[in-house]
Structure 1
């Protein structure tokens, strides 16, 4: 996606955009978008797009309802399920989850959800483009991204809804948890999404910090009769390391622990 964006001076940025995008793609990513020019190498924009996309699709998959923000652990359905999962066996809680999600989907407008969620994601991609200094007003960027990538994004939304149905409704013998580590140390349960020679050193990797997730991981959790939780890691998440962003910014000294204050910048 990033390759089709024209670069230039920063366009308008609404109040709170930086904070919102830092929450979605990481503070280090936002700072790199602001401080570095991306004319010749849009890798940073691509990384931000990927992190934002994974976050948004994961929210769709985990949400109980999509009419408003209602994550798997929030809202009345999430609270009821948490209590039921704590006090009932796997078959009972799994059956309730499957039936509840099935009927919630039955009374939802599928096409309306796809349209609304696509719009929300495009708006977030516009914010990333603006932070990176892409030319043009936000409305024009919204129309451009929608025109060029709208069909691809809608396809991803439909795939996310299909996955949501499979893990939320079709399987009751266990729960599937999406893994999106962020702001935590890198460990063996993850994979580096952007490995380099400089980061192959084990000593560096031990101190590496995960900024956000580029590809979601998957874990299966089954509650046994003794109420123990048996977990199986099915797919490791591929993560974006702070070291990778430092490399993009040319701060190789930071890879070796040098503490340097970032240079102030008003834009790319």
Structure 2
């Protein structure tokens, strides 16, 4: 109090009541300060206790973490050791596997080389087998003597062809008989020259066609139509279907002279088969053949004096005989395939007799007069020239001693004497 009084001398100047109030206020302030200090101390103590507890907890946590770290470090060390051991084992296994793989690869390469060699040997064997098989088939083709078609079938084709030609000629002659007249125009003369140059009918018959009145008897017209169609059919049947047939026929004759019939016949069969296939791809041969027949008929009718325009006459004949002419062409091509491709044991060819050739009863048949009575011994028959061939004959030929020549069907002819008889 003395100290208080010393530090605050001015307070002695205050009145007693004021001092008393001041003291009371100061005491209250002191109490308040003491209470605040006590609270602060309590708070500080509480915070200290909390901090101490937190420190202790932190220490315990640190110890725990240190222990865990130690444990983890120990476990990691053990894991690392185990992993290193496993890694080393794996490395050893890998080295072993690499060795096995290397040996397997070497063995695989060796087997692959062996397989390649075996495949190459197999390929060469297969190629050799194919070559030998082709050679064997080729040899069998050339050595076989079996024909795909019998001789009687070929005879039937020629007989049917002759019959169709006869029917077309007869129908056409009847259809145009009333329109024939004695020709004297330039077109008629050109038609005569064309008919003579065709070579199927003799000149004397052509002249007779131009000057005879056919409205009474159309026999000569029919004979001429039949003869010109037969001549054209002979040309078609004899063709091989390629260019330069003359040299080709000479080549085939040389082969026949030097090779067996089986070889020569098979060569001819193969050649004509492939030529026909090439021609079929080109197309149009059948149409050209029909057109050739129609043109031949037009030429004969013009010579006989049918005055229609050539183109009109062509179209009329084409319309009237299209089916029948197509049948003739089909038979011609059928004969060509049979005689040229299907038969190798012999050679078949159609036979016709040229105009003005002397009639020989042994080689031909007179269709107009039929067989003559047998001549008396020592009787000599006068030479009789042929007018034209009206029916194709059929000749079969073998190579050398393998068959010779056999006339299976005699060609039918009309003699030039028909002109005098008509």
* TM-score category, normalised to shorter length: 0.7 to 0.9
Structure 2: runs of 5+ lacking an equivalent: 1-171
The structure that has the greater radius of gyration is 2
Question: Cα gap change, 1:214/1:205 in structure 2, threshold over 3 Å: closer, same or farther?
Answer: farther
Higher relative contact order (CA 8 A, sep 6+): 1
Q: Which residue does 2:384 correspond to in 1?
A: 208
Structure 1 position 75, deviation (Å):
3.3
Q: Which residue does 1:2 correspond to in 2?
A: 173
Equivalenced residue count is 240
**Among candidates 363, 366, 377, match of residue 192 of structure 1:** 366
The answer to whether the aligner puts 1:89 opposite 2:263 as a matched pair is no
Q: Which residue does 1:223 correspond to in 2?
A: 399
Q: Which residue does 2:99 correspond to in 1?
A: none
The answer to whether the aligner puts 1:102 opposite 2:276 as a matched pair is no
Matches within 5 A, 1:1-268: 1-5=172-176, 6-8=179-181, 10=183, 13=187, 17-22=191-196, 23-65=199-241, 74-109=245-280, 112-182=284-354, 183-189=356-362, 190-195=364-369, 206-225=382-401, 230-248=404-422
Q: Deviations over 1:107-153 (max 9, x none)?
A: 11386111111111111111110111112111111111111112111
Per the alignment, in what secondary structure is the counterpart of residue 332 of structure 2?
A: helix
Q: Which residue does 2:55 correspond to in 1?
A: none
Write the distance in 2 (CA, Å) between the matches of 1:99 and 1:165: 11
Q: Deviations over 1:26-64 (max 9, x none)?
A: 212211101101112111111011111111111111101
The structure where strand makes up a greater share of residues is: 1
TM-score, normalised on structure 1?
0.81
Write the distance in 2 (CA, Å) between the matches of 1:236 and 1:56: 18
The structure where helix makes up a greater share of residues is: 2
Per the alignment, in what secondary structure is the counterpart of residue 109 of structure 1?
A: helix
Write the distance in 1 (CA, Å) between the matches of 2:382 and 2:337: 37
Q: Deviations over 1:162-211 (max 9, x none)?
A: 011111111111111221112221122211110179x7695795421112
Q: Which residue does 2:7 correspond to in 1?
A: none
Write the distance in 1 (CA, Å) between the matches of 2:186 and 2:212: 18
Question: Cα gap change, 1:14/1:81 in structure 2, threshold over 3 Å: closer, same or farther?
Answer: farther
Write the distance in 2 (CA, Å) between the matches of 1:212 and 1:229: 30
Structure 1 position 229, deviation (Å):
6.7
Structure 1: runs of 5+ lacking an equivalent: 249-268
Structure 1 position 82, deviation (Å):
2.0
Per the alignment, in what secondary structure is the counterpart of residue 24 of structure 1?
A: coil
**Alpha carbons 2:227, 2:389 under 8 Å: kept:** yes
TM-score, normalised on structure 2?
0.53
Write the distance in 1 (CA, Å) between the matches of 2:220 and 2:276: 36
